[in-house]
Structure 1
Amino acid sequence: MGHAETLLAMGGAFIAAAILARLGRRIGISTIPLFMLAGILLGPNTPGFVLVEDPHDFEMLSLLGLVLLLFYLGLEFHLDDLQRGGGKLVAVGGVYLLLNVGAGFGYGLILGWSLADALVLAGVIGISSSAIVTKILVDLGRLGNPETRLILGIIVVEDIFLALYLAALQPVLSGAQNLTEVLTQTGKAFAFLLVLAILARFGTRIIGKIIDVKDDELLVISFLGIAVLVAGISEELGVADAIGAFMVGLILGSTTSGDRIRELVHPLRDAFGAIFFFVFGLSIDPGDIASVAVPVLIAAGITVVMNFAAGIIAAKMNGFGTLPAANISTTLLARGEFALILATMAAQAGLNPELAPFIAGYVLVTAVLGPIVAGNSALMARGLAPIDKWLSKTAKPDQVKVAAKSEES
């Protein structure tokens, strides 16, 4: 592809994604599945106008989008949030992950897929989309609800799991042949994580002084260069570039420049993140999605069941009633960016070719379904009415008042 064709394709990709996203906002649909849909419709696998013939032409832009998505996720991660929540928050997040990750892994085995495929599917089904969850809370005006702090706490626990999961999954994705190789690669990944974690814990003051500049332009160049460089080093060491980007965000987010970086990276994350989702859509053949439609719908049904089970348990542990339980369950339902990141990594590792269309269909279903059911959580709560008495009996007197207030809101 020549320079002119590249510019035309890139401009067309941004415009197409923007048009679909604006239409989606009017009907309350998240932008993530719409960016994917733009790539599917304008890619080489659908009839009609083809904007990009070869998705590999946008491979570097897509990789940059991946790095920025994980970098921003690291910036948003606050260990203090987890510490304030205490052991109960860790327990609730652990139950949520156990139910959903376990269901994903078991479902992968039931489908007859390999252990590696099942492990990827476990992460896909197990992790909520923090971008969609945040958007739902803002759009529905629920940031002040009593259960919202619990929802955000679960997201924090998921973020921790995300980093550890990617590190543990790396040997599987790299095709390690024996136990020694698996242990070596796993040890390397966790050692790299440990070094960056130590920097995050003890080196933020020094790093903050190095990166602190008054000029926004220089700050953007600095943090972008560090994020991309460390992601590249991670890849060279045999560790997923996503891990390096996440940990750099974690480190820089704790510096004195953290708030400015979060503000400045927003437009970069949104722009290149859109390209990442668009490029993923380019590689998807709608016919392949149709071939896995039934397993996708079953997976979505499993996710709904597991989310409601986790929401009920979370409400029970915190003394909430049925409406907060429904709010927790429905808000955390959507899957998005992390699932697509795993799909991209699995494709690069040469795993089951059915994984990419399966994940694409699954994300499309849950990302559209999530905001819809979250907006109608009051109706969902009626279905939980039979266990309302059970939840109320487990609530402490002061928690019952909080729950009642939430029910009224």
Structure 2
Amino acid sequence: MRMALNIATRLLVPVVHHGPSLTCVRGFSFSQSPTLVLPLHSHRPAKTLLQIATTPSFRSCGCAPMSTFQVRDKIDLSDVERRIFDRLLATLRHFDLQTQLRVAGGWVRDKLLGKECYDIDIALDNMMGTEFVDKVREYLLSIGEDAQGVCVIESNPDQSKHLETARMRLFDIWIDFVNLRSEEYAENSRIPSKQRFGTAEEDAYRRDLTINSLFYHINTDSVEDFTKRGISDLKSGKIVTPLPPKATFLDDPLRVLRAIRFGARFEFTLDEDLKVAAACDDVKDALAAKISRERIGTEIDLMISGNQPVKAMTYICDLTLFWIVFSLPPEFEPYISDGCERLCISYLDTAWNLIHLLGESTFTAEQKRLTLCAALFLPLRNTTYREKKAKKIPVVNHIIRESLKRKAKDAEMVSLLSL
């Protein structure tokens, strides 16, 4: 661990060169195009590595063009998936149920893209998840099989759980069961004010993105695209909301960050109307007011830990959300210069490129996450503010502890890496 932190620390030491500078915080000036010192264990010339890391071809990993994906016409089930769905269909026959079973969301998207996914969420059209899981358990017992891991996850809107979810394990795969639903939101809350059983079409349109609105109908072994554009957006690589984007984001502003995360992850293009809506003041105000800082921090962690952290942060910056997400102490905000966020991303980009140059195996996932966080906030490393008791606190600590609600040890490690 200490050796890896040593490597990370040296990665993040800036070398100031002559040339234009950008004042990020009053009293501090940093190089507009930062370069970084490489670890001492490297036997390759530092100059050569740095030149490679800052060439356009190498730096493109943060700004790659949209990837083209082949989208399958149908879903090919694995042997385990087929056995799982056979048990569910057998439960319907055993109790003579007319329930329609649909797999929703990310599993459908990933299977159509030819990717394996073990996150199976099943939506039911006429009963609650707990009711159906009880039926499945009873059927399994009748054929001499054990029902494993049956539990109920209570609704928790702060964790994006608006409905009670029933869960069980079949053939070592966890399956979640919920009912199809239609939702209405109160003006100042992301918690639905009204919920009721909905149709599959209503449920599809309440989803965050068209590529996440697809269903796999288990009863008929078919893919359903009720928005009429989920598959086409998947093929063309577009991030689009099923309903008008501003209304979608005002209902649940967390969807703005999810759109950014999926756009970066798949290297898809954000829809122009979506970008306009995400950057408007009403949506930014709603993101700051309605979404818990824990949920924002979780989304940022997923972006930083993902395959395109620079692209994700660039989207956040382009949509003028940077200081909404990474909020500063109110009295400190006037001292941040325009363009500081671009400098933050420039440091992140260089660190990301160098991590790839050295080999990702040099770091654990956690070390890589903390290293990239430290790089992102490197321009703020020497800036502090005073609390009520006149104690000086690093601004970076405030961002990590208060804006993102991450653990105290995260703030301590990022500060250590930035020394």
TM over 0.5: no
TM-score by length of 2: 0.23
- Name whichever structure is richer in helix by fraction: 1
TM-score by length of 1: 0.23
Q: Whose relative contact order is higher, 1 or 2, with alpha carbons under 8 Å and at least 6 apart?
A: 1
- Name whichever structure is richer in strand by fraction: 2
Larger radius of gyration: 2
